[in-house]
Amino acid sequence: GENVEQHPSTLSVQEGDSAVIKCTYSDSASNYFPWYKQELGKRPQLIIDIRSNVGEKKDQRIAVTLNKTAKHFSLHITETQPEDSAVYFCAATRVTDSWGKLQFGAGTQVVVTP
Amino acid sequence: DTEVTQTPKHLVMGMTNKKSLKCEQHMGHRAMYWYKQKAKKPPELMFVYSYEKLSINESVPSRFSPECPNSSLLNLHLHALQPEDSALYLCASSQVVRQRGNTIYFGEGSWLTVV
């Protein structure tokens, strides 16, 4: 089955700096890679996703890159703000058969200090 | 409207109790899921329903019993739980089409404490 590794486990950044979280996956057939943000006591919320036919996707201050050959994908947050503080989970799945069977990474606790 | 609603938000139950968690979505999604999340850990898939039929059961103990009465509702019946079952239980839903990527929307979760 799919195995997703996520690094780092914690990330402290100064407000205004950039944050980068990296994930690797094992199943070369995985073709959908969402990122979820979970604030303390709240639900995981999708912030951005990327499909395997795309190498990069951007949404305002957030971007995701995918390297299929190396089987890794990364989340980039620019101009970080205190409200970016949360746990971020990457995930991977092969949607052609097992829809919704997301395999999550272990999570990254991001702390943005003013 | 990307809303999945769950009730109750908090539940405390004894090990001999029977209780149920409820989930509802009105996005026309035909796949619904139960995930379990322990503190500081990622969500773990428990069950997947597709078109109201159980598609995936991730070897979950029988003290957890899912039910999908219709395309909008998903229940999780709880009986004879153990203290280690205390966790956040997340319901989620998504489209079921063979497109490349089905966004999964999570509900707010039900915080379960077993005493």
pLDDT digit string, tens, across residues A19-57 = 999 999 999 988 889 999 999 999 999 999 998 888 999
A31 touches chain B (CB under 8 A): yes
Q: How crowded is the C-beta side of B90, counted as CA atoms within 13 Å? A: 23
Note down pLDDT in tens along chain B; length 115 residues. 569 999 999 999 999 999 999 999 988 888 899 999 999 899 999 999 988 999 888 889 999 999 999 999 999 999 999 999 999 999 999 887 655 457 889 999 999 999 9
The b/e string for B72-103 (b: 16+ C-beta within 10 A; e otherwise) is: bebbbebeebeeebbbbbbbbbbbbeeeebbe
The span from the CA of A91 to the CA of A56, in Å, is 16
d(C-alpha A19, C-alpha B19), whole Å:
42
Amino acid at position B64, single letter: F
**Whole-angstrom Cα distance, residue A92 to residue B101?**
10
Note whether B101 contacts A53, CB cutoff 8 Å.
no
**A68 inside 8 A of chain B by CB:** no
Report the alpha-carbon distance of residue A65 to residue A6 in Å, rounded.
14
* Residues A54, A56, A58: CA angle, nearest 5 degrees: 125
User: Residue A44: its chain B contacts at CB < 8 A?
Assistant: 43, 90, 106
